[in-house]
Structure 1
Amino acid sequence: MSINKGYQTYQHNAVHTASSGELTLMLYNGCIKFIKQAMKDIDEHNYEAKNNNIQKAQNIIQELMLTLDPKIEISKQILPLYEYMHHLLKEANIQNEITELEEVLQLVSEFRDTWKQVILKNRKTEQSVQGAQV
């Protein structure tokens, strides 16, 4: 098996065995990766690649928007931030501006870091509950 095929299998298994919280974390990480690559593409004047990477980041933001539960109050506060990030990505793509990408990168990184803390806290709580049941 080639290394590339092995990596693809690993990625496939990681996605299909991940919890919903871990999938959200993967989305944030992917968005960060595509934004950083788009910034690099702008520096290198590779506008086709920049466009592709920004569109991938936009698709991730749209997916995050779709996963929000409108019945939960915090979703109503998060949605405008996602919409703002999506708007900045569109503007960055049109204007080839890194400043908008830097702002989105900062916001997505904060969301990711917060989400990571939530996952860790939930794991500790689950371990405590399981330990108490034994």
Structure 2
Amino acid sequence: MRGCESLNPYQQYKENAILTASPEELVLMLYNGIIRFIDEAKTALQKKDYVETNAKIQRAQDIITELMLTLDMNYDISKNLYNLYDYMLRRLIDANVKKDIEILDEVRGFAVDLRDTWSLALQKVREKVYATKG
């Protein structure tokens, strides 16, 4: 990691946000990253920039792989998420090989649903914690 003095203010803010985020907030950031990289891949694909398309799809794949590796397989939900992540990975590979925006949209839809569900669950937990404190 670089020293903060070499970062511009936006990079420093981003790095601080990641370093101070709770594990739950990090998951939300990862889902947002998948969505962002898929959007960037779609833009690159529309421009027929296949090198950039590949790079962005691979970034989304890396995030999904990281999510898979952090699952606690002692819970049934983790097994279900693992299967969904595995499907998303395979579809991203298909999208990359076929240069198919519709497949990217499909995977993006899963990522948006996961992000929105996670965000709602996080909000409910926070409300419950604040209700018990106040």
- TM-score band w.r.t. shorter chain: over 0.9
Map of 1:67 onto structure 2? 70
Aligned partner of 1:13 among 12, 16, 24: 16
1:55 corresponds in structure 2 to 58
Aligned ranges for residues 24-103 of structure 1 at < 5 Å?
24-103=27-106
Q: Secondary structure at the match of 2:126?
A: helix
TM-score (ref. length: structure 1) = 0.93
TM-score scaled by structure 2?
0.93
CA–CA distance in structure 2, aligned partners of residues 66 and 111 of structure 1 = 17
Number of paired residues?
A: 129
Post-superposition Cα deviations, 1:47-90, rounded to whole Å, max 9, x if no partner, equal 11101100000000001111111001111111111000000001
Partner of 1:105: 108
2:131 matched to 1:128?
A: yes
In the alignment, the residues of structure 2 paired with residue 5 and residue 129 of structure 1 have an alpha-carbon distance, to the nearest angstrom, of 40
Alpha-carbon distance, 1:32 to partner: 0.1
| Code of the aligned partner of 2:132 | V
- Matching residue's letter, 1:93: N
Segments of 4+ moved more than 4 angstroms:
none
The answer for unaligned runs of 5 or more in structure 1 is none
How far apart, in 1, do the equivalents of 2:61 and 2:98 lie? Answer: 15
Q: Where in structure 2 are there 5+ consecutive unaligned residues? A: 1-6
Question: What is the aligned-residue identity percentage?
Answer: 44
1:99: how far off?
1.2
Report the aligned-residue RMSD. 1.2
